């Protein structure tokens, strides 16, 4: 069934119970199912994966060091911070699993692109400060 065929079908009206499928509980007809944008649109997975990777690079290390500082002394927290690199296994694991391979690939692209931009801008600022502020 193509996207056009799914889109042309009339929306169910009323509250009817559907028969259970594969042992799962019955779903009411008025509950909204994911729209075609979430199921079939070609850029949805790419956009969500990329921006998840971007947020992953920015948010996860901050939360990790915050939790370490809350649980341990400063010296111990600084020593444990490199273990945040273990979390890079999340997008790599998503790339390995066939069902999430596309999302994981775009998440990995978001992680790498964000890291390159941050390191590039940081390097340029450091170079500028060392060259012209001396």
Q: What is the mean pLDDT of residues 14-33?
A: 59
Domain span holding position 83: 46-134
In a domain, 41, yes or no: no
In a domain, 125, yes or no: yes
0.75 exceeded by the pTM?
no
Q: Is the residue at 30 inside a domain?
A: no
3-state secondary structure the chain: CCHHHHHHCCCCCCCCECCCCCCCCCCECCCCCCCHHHHHCCCHHHHHHHHHHHHHHHHHHHHHHHHHHHHCCHHHHHHHHHHHHHHHHHHHHHHHCHHHHHHHHHHHHHHHHHHHHHHHHHHHHHHHHHHHCC
In a domain, 37, yes or no: no
Does pLDDT of 6 surpass 60?
no
Structural domains in the chain (count): 1
Q: Is residue 25 part of a domain?
A: no
Q: Give domain status of residue 10, yes or no.
A: no
Rounded average pLDDT over 54-72: 92
In-domain check, residue 22: no
Mean pLDDT value of segment 75-93: 89
């Amino acid at each position: 069934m193509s996207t056009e065929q799914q889109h042309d079908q009339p929306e169910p009206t009323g509250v009817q119970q559907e028969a259970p499928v594969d042992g799962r509980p019955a779903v009411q007809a008025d509950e909204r199912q994911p729209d075609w944008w979430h199921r079939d649109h070609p850029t949805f997975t790419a956009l969500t994966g990329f921006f998840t990777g971007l947020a992953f690079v920015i948010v996860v290390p901050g939360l990790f060091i915050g939790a370490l500082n809350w649980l341990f002394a400063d010296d111990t927290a600084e020593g444990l911070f490199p273990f945040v690199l273990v979390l890079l296994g999340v997008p790599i694991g998503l790339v390995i699993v066939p069902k999430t391979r596309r999302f994981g690939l775009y998440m990995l692209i978001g992680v790498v692109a964000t890291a390159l931009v941050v390191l590039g801008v940081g390097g340029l600022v450091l170079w500028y400060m060392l060259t012209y502020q001396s």
